[in-house]
Amino acid sequence: MSDARAVPMVDLKAQYQRIQADVDAALARILETTQFIKGEDCGLFEQEFAAFCGVSRACGVANGTDALTLALKAYGIGPGNEVVTVANTFIATGEAILLNGARPVFVDVDEQTFTMDATRVEKALTARTRLILPVHLYGHPADMGAIGDIAQRHGLPVLEDAAQAHGAELQGRRTGGLGHAACFSFYPGKNLGAFGDAGAVASNDGAFIARVRQVANHGGGANKYDNVVPGTNSRLDTIQAAVLRVKLRHLDRWNQERRERAAAYTAALGGVPNVTLPKEREGARSAWHLYTVRVPDRDGLQAHLKARGIATAVHYPRPIHLQPAMAAAGGRPGDLPVSERLSREVLCLPLYPELPLADVERIAAEVRAFCGAGAARA
Ligand SMILES: *Cc1c(COP(=O)(O)O)cnc(C)c1O
């Protein structure tokens, strides 16, 4: 047991080694040209990433949080407005709303996919609602058909938080094209990760992407020192764009490798008492950013795995309506029973394209042993 290899949550070094020659060549090219800002890789990555998502336009920005914050700004969302979103997400989803002076209105999530419960959205709408912001948590697309129908009836745009869901699909269409626009993060551990911080906004609405680009670059106009609206500096660096271009070529295969590992967990953990496994909704294809199980004794299982060298993570231990940072939104314990229960029961197991299948088997055997299903079947 003690000499078993330690298993991390992600292995960025293993990923780098698979593409090292191409990445090193791309970096050398940028160092040679010294076009660190607005180099040609920036525009090329935007085109290639938009094509990957099946949309016409994308704008690179400095990180996923800025993608959300600047997209909301480009919609003109500000004080007095409300945005309907979920609370079992990374804090950035709520921050982007608050930082624009608007109020997040949190709705609960569906038990099976952990994403926005579309049946609760309509009740959350008020005369102040300006936008609906679902999150494709763990890589699983939210119920965009039902959410889109509600949005259309009320004349509201839907913005996807697709930070965990590059390449996920619903009815054959990819995230990025499932709402009016989508925000992506290229944080290193995401399915598509930069060598630092990076993000993007994607949409079929060219005028909207132009507004995002404007606020991401000091509210710029036609000439360099035209500053038309208050903006900020949130550009995608050329070095990050060059790395992302190399990685994007591999993303479909990497997502497939994640899917195979997720399937191996599901096969090995089926029927284990007290363990609820992640499932895809009919018509949905997850990007499998995380493989997240539900167990009543989550902390016990996490300690059991840690003692055996197996890393795990809790995404997320506190739904964001209960974070002090979101106090202005007025959330209270008991508001969102499903989200609150999930925060006590979810555990993310290691899942990345390079994860050896033998490690999946070993991790599953340890989960079975802890949860009382006896030792490994093999
Ligand atoms: C990672 C993440 C973000 C923020 O992205 P950064 O690039 O880290 O700023 C936003 N929303 C969700 C759901 C995320 O997972």
Closest CA to 70 of 237, 235, 245, 239: 235
**Do 79 and 211 have their domain in common?**
yes
* CB neighbour class for 313 (10 Å; exposed up to 12, middle 13-18, buried from 19): middle
* Distance, CA of 100 to CA of 159 (rounded, Å): 15
What ligand 1 atom has the least distance to the C-alpha of 187? 7
DSSP 90: -
Residue 176 Cα, ligand 1 centroid: separation in angstroms? 15
pLDDT band at 224 (very low <50, low <70, confident <90, very high): confident
Would you say residue 373 has pLDDT above 80? no
Q: Classify residue 8: in a domain, yes or no.
A: no
Would you say residue 26 has pLDDT above 90? yes
Residue 167 Cα, ligand 1 centroid: separation in angstroms? 16
Query: What pLDDT score was predicted for residue 318?
Result: 97
> For a substitution probing ligand 1, which of 187, 234, 236 has the most ligand atoms within 8 Å of its CB?
187
Q: Classify residue 306: in a domain, yes or no.
A: yes
pLDDT band at 40 (very low <50, low <70, confident <90, very high): very high
* Distance, CA of 103 to CA of 94 (rounded, Å): 9
Last residue of a domain, one of 194, 224, 248: 248
Q: Classify residue 52: in a domain, yes or no.
A: yes
Q: Give the angle 329-100-65 at the CA atoms, nearest 5°.
A: 95
Query: What pLDDT score was predicted for residue 376?
Result: 46
**Do 33 and 138 have their domain in common?**
yes
What ligand 1 atom has the least distance to the C-alpha of 66? 9
Could you give phi then psi for residue 315, rounded to 5 degrees? -115, 95
Whole domain around residue 218: which residue ranges?
13-107+114-248
Q: Classify residue 2: in a domain, yes or no.
A: no
Would you say residue 374 has pLDDT above 60? no
Q: Across the chain, what does the average pLDDT equal?
A: 96
Beta bridge partners of 313: 348
> 61: part of which helix (H) or strand (E)?
strand 57-61
Mean pLDDT along residues 121-133: 98
**pLDDT tens-place string over residues 261-283:** 999 999 999 999 999 999 999 99
List b or e across 174-194, with b for residues whose CB sees 16 or more CB atoms inside 10 angstroms: bbbbbbbbbbbbbbbebbbbb
Q: Classify residue 210: in a domain, yes or no.
A: yes
DSSP 115: S
- Which residue has the least CA distance to atom 6 on ligand 1? 64
* Distance, CA of 278 to CA of 176 (rounded, Å): 23
3-state secondary structure of 16: helix
Query: What pLDDT score was predicted for residue 372?
Result: 81
> For a substitution probing ligand 1, which of 116, 138, 159, 164 has the most ligand atoms within 8 Å of its CB?
164
Contact 254, 353 (CB under 8 A): yes
Mean pLDDT along residues 294-317: 97
What ligand 1 atom has the least distance to the C-alpha of 190? 1
**Do 163 and 286 have their domain in common?**
no
pLDDT band at 377 (very low <50, low <70, confident <90, very high): very low
Residue 190 Cα, ligand 1 centroid: separation in angstroms? 9
pLDDT band at 3 (very low <50, low <70, confident <90, very high): low
**Do 234 and 303 have their domain in common?**
no
The CATH number for 338's domain is 3.90.1150.10
Mean pLDDT along residues 81-105: 98
**Do 281 and 147 have their domain in common?**
no
Residue 89 Cα, ligand 1 centroid: separation in angstroms? 9
**Do 99 and 216 have their domain in common?**
yes
The CATH number for 190's domain is 3.40.640.10
Residue 91 Cα, ligand 1 centroid: separation in angstroms? 8
**Do 58 and 128 have their domain in common?**
yes
What ligand 1 atom has the least distance to the C-alpha of 164? 15
What ligand 1 atom has the least distance to the C-alpha of 185? 7
Contact 162, 176 (CB under 8 A): yes
Residues touching ligand 1 (Cβ under 6 Å) are: 63-65, 89-90, 92-93, 135, 161, 163-164, 185, 187, 197, 199
Q: Which two tokens stand for residue 209?
A: 């992407």
Mean pLDDT along residues 117-135: 98
Closest CA to 361 of 258, 259, 268: 268
Would you say residue 4 has pLDDT above 80? no
| Number of structural domains in the chain | 2
Q: Which two tokens stand for residue 133?
A: 């912001």
**Do 187 and 324 have their domain in common?**
no
**Do 74 and 166 have their domain in common?**
yes
What ligand 1 atom has the least distance to the C-alpha of 92? 10
Closest CA to 120 of 147, 91, 159, 81: 147
- Which residue has the least CA distance to atom 10 on ligand 1? 92
Q: Classify residue 4: in a domain, yes or no.
A: no
**Do 289 and 218 have their domain in common?**
no
Last residue of a domain, one of 195, 228, 248: 248
Residue 211 Cα, ligand 1 centroid: separation in angstroms? 21
pLDDT band at 222 (very low <50, low <70, confident <90, very high): confident
Residue 289 Cα, ligand 1 centroid: separation in angstroms? 12
Q: Classify residue 5: in a domain, yes or no.
A: no
Last residue of a domain, one of 194, 228, 248: 248
Residue 64 Cα, ligand 1 centroid: separation in angstroms? 5
- Which residue has the least CA distance to atom 14 on ligand 1? 163
**pLDDT tens-place string over residues 332-356:** 999 999 999 999 999 999 999 999 9
Residue 225 Cα, ligand 1 centroid: separation in angstroms? 31
Q: Which two tokens stand for residue 236?
A: 């995608």
**Do 29 and 164 have their domain in common?**
yes
> For a substitution probing ligand 1, which of 10, 61, 65, 86 has the most ligand atoms within 8 Å of its CB?
65
- Least-confidence region, from 70-79, 331-340, 369-378: 369-378
Query: What pLDDT score was predicted for residue 322?
Result: 98
HEC-encoded secondary structure of 283-340? CEECCCCCEEEECCCHHHHHHHHHHCCECCECCCCCCHHHCHHHHHHCCCCCCCHHHH
Residue 90 Cα, ligand 1 centroid: separation in angstroms? 6
**Do 316 and 275 have their domain in common?**
yes
